[in-house]
Amino acid sequence: MEQLKDRILLPTAAEIAKERAFVVAKINEIGEKRLREGILAAVDVRKKAYPPYSGYMVGATVICKSGDSYSSCNAEAASYSGTDHAEKSAITKAISSGEIQKSGEEFIEAVIVSHLGASGPCGECRKRIAEHCQNALVLDVDGDGNIQAVTSLKALFFYGFTPSHVRK
């Protein structure tokens, strides 16, 4: 059992401080105007969600390095596995609008998610976000746009499997 205790993996105080500094710097870099616009877009698109089975409406906005933003909502399917998640859909919208050509594969600066209840993006969406950035600002807002939490992808996806593990 001592061997297990020696292998406990948690962020260090220095890593947490580094993430806090990243979040503050990213807020300043993106700016209040772009963040507020992203929040309003996520709140607005959430109203267009299609959740006939769960009733759980989600809207998301992806703010990109190019300066453009893309928003989408969740759209459920009876199979649930076929459900489009808001974050994933917004990322796909960015890709289909040419973000990779504009900014490269790592185009995401921030993701804003609007829903009821306090939580971050699901694991699948965290993985999809990680496909297109080393780290990103993540804002969790309620259905009215009130900020519930501000964090980073690395804080939410600590020790995650990312493209850096498989790219040559």
Residue 76 CB contacts under 8 Å (≥ 6 apart), including other chains: 50, 51, 52, 53, 54, 83, 84
Dist CA 117 CA 122 (whole Å): 13
Active site (annotated) includes residue 87 = yes
Dist CA 12 CA 65 (whole Å): 29
Task: Please count the other Cβ atoms lying within 10 Å of the Cβ belonging to residue 165.
Answer: 7
- Of the candidates 29, 32, 76, 87, the residue annotated as catalytic is 87
> Strands 69-73 and 59-64, how do they pair?
antiparallel
Task: Please count the other Cβ atoms lying within 10 Å of the Cβ belonging to residue 31.
Answer: 10
Closest C-alpha to 140, from 167, 120, 159: 120
Q: Distance of CA 17 to CAs 30, 135, 155, 156, 158, Å?
A: 20, 15, 11, 14, 14
Question: What are the structure tokens assigned to 123, written together?
Answer: 């694991």
- Where in the sequence numbering do the catalytic residues fall? 87
